[in-house]
Structure 1
């Protein structure tokens, strides 16, 4: 079991809930769902307290560096900034969040937006804090299609593993892996443990150099050197 990284989430915004743009430069994302609860204790709870949820509220706080390209503000940040002086519908955006590696854990809702600078010191990078206050339900939605970069392989251990033995491969972008090779030969089998770890079984072959590569739908990783046993 591995521990996931906080930075795996992506935040998109939209004016209509259909055409979304990503907020780029996010360095902190903190979503919250809070309950309003009422005491439901009664005679038949036999002296034990009982509680019911009567209301839910959701919110999300996003801190992001202000990014520009050729002097043009990042489109996602601009959508949020454009709500700053507005009222009514113009002060609201649709918000969609999900795992940027897999598209899973996707949720969507409409929110009132506040947009303010969060860093302004002489040595600071320009940063803003965007607060989304839910206006209605936050819903689980279907996985969001994402383009996963090709795999990156960083290490493989232990060195010198022989046919049938396991090798742990670490790196990035291992979600959706379609193949693992030792040299030109496919691994006897492999298990994707997480987006950063694969356990592969060394195939039959002779001892010597057998560079390791990992492939997904986007492409094949650069190889890393590996010396296998017989």
Structure 2
């Protein structure tokens, strides 16, 4: 491969990382809000969110990307490839993050909630001081696992014209008739990105363990 080819794949890597981070930034808090609504049994919303989560988890990312990019403009909402890709990834991961957060909330020890009530703490205080600090720590590993899955799923949005790592490698391989070098480079970049995500997770876990001890798990 030439230097230009390597730079093209590098640009694709930047796009992949940017799309993944943007999708996580959208999907993680959205999933959290949806999980809270389900956990609190908000009327009507509970069933609507359950349907939303089921549909998004069952819909392939490539199908969702095509729907957002090609169908929404017929309803008056036209998006460019990158915004459409971010929304696609964000909506997809929000459904999975909703279930991660909801699982943590459903498994939370009820005796702690009762103790907080006895001490006269409001629902907001109980959530801020007792529930959430434990919730995010117990949910960290599955959230990071979902983030790595989202990172590996970004090639699906290439169908709407986004040039990420895999699309860049495919284009270079087609031009040079030597697919192995670009795809090997792409594989190494994906490995490095995922290793970076795992390193961040372990760094956070070690920091929390030093502060709270091994009992935080």
Please tell me the TM-score bracket, short chain as reference: under 0.3
TM-score normalised to structure 1 length: 0.23
Q: Who wins on radius of gyration, i.e. which is larger? A: 1
Greater helix proportion: 2
Q: Higher RCO, 1 or 2 (CA under 8 Å, sep at least 6)?
A: 2
